[in-house]
Structure 1
Amino acid sequence: MRTELFSEPGDPDRPNEDFASVGLPASGQGGSLVVLDGVTPPQGDDGCLHSVAWFSARLGGALTELSVSCRDLTLPEILSDAIRRVADAHADTCDLSHPRTPQATVVLARWSATEVEYLVLSDSALLLESPTGEVTPLLDDRLSRLPRASLTTDAVADATVRNKEGGFFTAAADPSVAGRAVTGTLPRTSVRTLTALTDGATRWVEKFREGDWTDLFTLVRKEGGQALVDRVRRLEAADAEARVYLRRSKTHDDATVVFVEL
């Protein structure tokens, strides 16, 4: 098995709000990967004493532990339990009903000798490569399909589509959101590699249109996650005012790539 993990903050003066891990049980059978993209809140009160980085670390740590040690639980059950665990850790001090309580996108995958399970919530991505080289993107595309009018301001998005029916969902304080995730199970023999990315890395495809998902996967496989992020950074710098890609809210975003060859 070959694994690679690369993560870089969008701003070196701010904490990286992404989280990434690869868990390999001591038994040597199977494993799991976790990638989270913490959602940076707008300026102002979000009802919580804790940072997004704190939340990502807590949730990511819980997902890593549960996905490796609790083989009897499904991935939605693991996400639900992890969200509940983190919510319990700060329910007494923070307003978890606030629409901007700390939250994150989720990619969770787990493999055994016989199958590969996956879960995707919000706009991070998971790419699966088959033994014949075909690349399949597993995406939760609800955010990208929303009308632009619903995302004109943070206030409008929070009131109308964030964690709401007909909108999009992230992992925040409500364990039931696990039931909204894109999930599935495939035979282990049909998957050769997995690549998980936060949207700071998927900009290469989704914002800058430099290639398709197969091109992105090929770049990561041949040159590594840092090579992909370096290319994204150059494209961002050339379009620093985001005039061309108006749905890009930040010049640079935290970017994470995890590559696992089974």
Structure 2
Amino acid sequence: MRVRIATRPGSADRPNEDHAVADTGTAVVVDGLTARTETHCVHGVAWFAAQLARDVRDARDVTPRDALRAGIARTAARHAGTCDLEARATPCAAVGVVRVADGVLRYAVLGDVSLVLDGEHVVSDQRVAEAGREERAAAARLPVGSAARATALVEMKRAEIAQRNRPGGYWTAATDPAAADHALTGEVPLRELTRVAILSDGAARAVDPFGLTDWAGVLDLLAADGPDALLARVRAAEHADADARRWPRTKVSDDATAVLCEHLRRNEDEDACASR
């Protein structure tokens, strides 16, 4: 398959906490969860997202779920000696992984990354949206840039953290490899696919909440004009609603990443993934 990738930070003054990588037969998108509170990690969310993406990609010859499990363990080991990995607010991320081998595409999705299969089927775990729902709504009602909104966003994050990686809450990649057991997984014969996309929630805004297109339209745009074109449309919608009134949201502009995997049927008997 051929893989095309685009990623943009939400603003010029903050690092991009999304990261995407691809190589032979594998594509990974990692969407780091914004901290807002002390993480007790000296590296930061952007470092965590980039390292986790590479560690998941580099777990060879295993299923996407096992690659995710191994990646979480490897990334945790990289900063276990310098950071407090027991802290509830330690850096974490949503992750989407696809792997192509033996005529089958296999996937694992942990958190609110969206996997779009030919526009007919979307895989995404939205349980994080239930954590701190009231606090999120309250923050979104406050004026953008105000001190009251900033305070409310911290309260929202604390409510989210309290529900992180526990039964009845939501699951995300942090330090415990067992979180991978809660990933949504599946496999699809390549003969049934032509295009697959992996989107961070910032890129998925094109469909929800902005309604710029539907999932099939996302794939059409990605295939015709490339991932950068999708992100440009999302940015334009964000900038046109800079006070977040038309589409209430806690981040006016979010980190956004889009990955398109295509030519799947044509290369059904090949395991090569040329990335550009």
Task: Give the alignment's TM-score, normalised by structure 1.
Answer: 0.88
1:157 to 156, 160, 183: 160
**Does the C-alpha gap of structure 1 residues 146 and 93 become closer, same or farther in structure 2, counting only changes over 3 Å?**
closer
How much does 1:113 deviate? 3.2
**Does the C-alpha gap of structure 1 residues 244 and 165 become closer, same or farther in structure 2, counting only changes over 3 Å?**
farther
- Whether the 8 Å CA contact 2:131–2:160 is kept in 1: the answer is no
CA offsets, 1:19-38, max 9 Å, x none?
A: 111111xxxxxx01000111
In 1, Cα distance between the equivalents of 2:161 and 2:26? Answer: 32
Residue 123 (structure 1) aligns with: 112
1:81 to 70, 75, 90: 70
In 1, Cα distance between the equivalents of 2:211 and 2:131? Answer: 20
In 1, Cα distance between the equivalents of 2:132 and 2:89? Answer: 21
Residue 27 (structure 1) aligns with: none
- Whether the 8 Å CA contact 1:150–1:157 is kept in 2: the answer is no
**Does the C-alpha gap of structure 1 residues 45 and 80 become closer, same or farther in structure 2, counting only changes over 3 Å?**
same
- Whether the 8 Å CA contact 1:9–1:253 is kept in 2: the answer is yes
Which sections of structure 2, spanning at least 5 residues, go unmatched? 139-155, 265-276
Residue 41 (structure 1) aligns with: 35
CA offsets, 1:193-217, max 9 Å, x none?
A: 2111111111111111222211222
2:101 to 112, 115, 118: 112
How much does 1:175 deviate? 0.7
Are 1:199 and 2:193 an aligned pair?
Answer: no
Higher relative contact order (CA 8 A, sep 6+): 2
Q: Percent identity?
A: 39
How much does 1:2 deviate? 2.8
Residue 58 (structure 2) aligns with: 65
Moved over 6 A (4+): none
SS at the partner of 2:218?
helix
In 1, Cα distance between the equivalents of 2:252 and 2:21? Answer: 26
- Whether the 8 Å CA contact 1:83–1:171 is kept in 2: the answer is yes
- Whether the 8 Å CA contact 2:57–2:67 is kept in 1: the answer is no
SS at the partner of 2:244?
coil
Which sections of structure 1, spanning at least 5 residues, go unmatched? 25-30
Residue 141 (structure 1) aligns with: 126
What residue identity is the alignment partner of 2:81?
D
- Whether the 8 Å CA contact 1:34–1:64 is kept in 2: the answer is yes
**Does the C-alpha gap of structure 1 residues 236 and 157 become closer, same or farther in structure 2, counting only changes over 3 Å?**
same
